[in-house]
Chain A
């Protein structure tokens, strides 16, 4: 497919739109696009509907059928990504070989970064409408949690990829403030331990509403969970990991976001913040030393001799010349 031609803005509105779409230092939240293959199952349809509604307003769902095979040729997906400015695609399909399949595709600059295939288990899948506990408000930032050792593997595998993609997909907008009222639900991803060879452990997706109660003699509340749905168990299918070059490019931080090291400020072993400041050269000529009767200036002795006797007193601990002074800093 041809790339979308470059548009030169003719009016201010178009310019604003294009500027918003262009690469930015602090990026917009990722938009997720839900697409379907020519054949899908009831299970995947229900699940994508639920996921789409959880992700509102950062989601977009298309109902038209597409004949795309993401692992073979993803160029159409790239087109969709660019056209809709969506950098995540959830592609649902079903086939005899891969029943109830969700393919999660992540993009970098409208090019496929990585792909993860998840096969939904038919028997455990439940939709949101099957739970009667109510739902959370639309567009809230969920709490995320990942349980299981496979997500924390030091080497990159399908599960660390799944963690990265799931976090990217559901974290919502990057914000510096959240409303306490807005902490309403949690998405919990857990992975089994590997029990048999050649059988990849399952990933469980559960969504819970949080119920907080006041705990006796504590300022912190006691948290309880009630399932909200959707519920799904996934088996991991095919995986396409990111091209190392592309990954490196994608993990780059813009200059404004790099943490600046502050000069002369350190943290010591105890955890106290210690700063060094320059105090300038000290004037030692007017220094008051210990007063003793013997050192008292007699009237007939000249002034310069007097200055010399004070110096070898041995009680001065002043750094020579201008020196650094350690100062404990208030945080």
Chain B
């Protein structure tokens, strides 16, 4: 808890409100009358004390309500919340881009964008990414590196059937 010195010097009738997103503090209490202050120095003292209370409140709020992190550069960073006091925009909200003819058509048909799967897959045995196919590819790894020459003609399609791959064209030709 804060020591009394850190608190306001005299309690104010209305609490000060803080908007930490803007580092903004609002003190709704009426200012002590400056005309009653005889010299300009007294007036400045009044202003300085109200300013001090605002600063103290703001710093207290910042240090108690905001997460503080220390980055690698040895400086303390305070994470601020989003501002509450809304200010007008500088420029109008950007309009949404008009959909292209293809995008409209795709939406109507329910066609969704397909992400490319990439050419590599993760090999858990190796613990590394390997090519799906081709040189050192996943599809022909662990295959028979030594194959006996088969003289019999009925086993001519063995290589293809072992891979389980028969092209569409091939099927049509055969059927």
Give residues in A with beta carbon < 8 Å to B: 22-25, 27-28, 30, 87, 106-110, 113, 124, 141-149, 151-152, 164, 167-168, 171, 174-181, 183, 186, 188, 190-193, 195, 204, 206, 208, 210, 212, 215-225, 227, 242, 247, 249-254
Contacts and interface: CB of A to CB of B under 8 A. Distances in A.
Contacts of A180: 68, 75-78
Given A171-B22, A210-B59, A181 B80 contact: no
Interface in B49-85: 50-52, 54-56, 58-60, 62-64, 68, 75-80, 83, 85
Contacts of B86: 251
Interface string B94-119: 10000000000000000000000000
Given A110-B91, A223-B56, A250-B92, 4 more contacts: A25-B94, A171-B24, A210-B55, A215-B2
A27 B91 contact: yes
Contacts of A218: 1-3, 5-6
Contact of A167 (B5, B79, B85): B85
Contacts of B23: 141-144, 171, 178, 183
Contacts of A152: 26, 28
Interface residues of B, number: 53
Nearest to B57: A145
A225 B48 contact: yes
Contacts of A190: 31, 47, 50-51
27 contacts: A24-B91, A107-B90, A108-B92, A109-B90, A141-B23, A144-B24, A149-B28, A167-B87, A168-B88, A171-B22, A177-B78, A178-B23, A178-B78, A179-B75, A183-B59, A186-B51, A193-B30, A195-B33, A208-B48, A216-B3, A222-B5, A223-B56, A224-B52, A225-B52, A247-B88, A250-B92, A251-B86
A167 B31 contact: no
Nearest to B79: A177
Nearest to A30: B90
B89 A27 contact: yes
Given A24-B94, A180-B75, A220 B6 contact: yes
Nearest to B36: A195
Contact of A188 (B33, B51, B93): B51
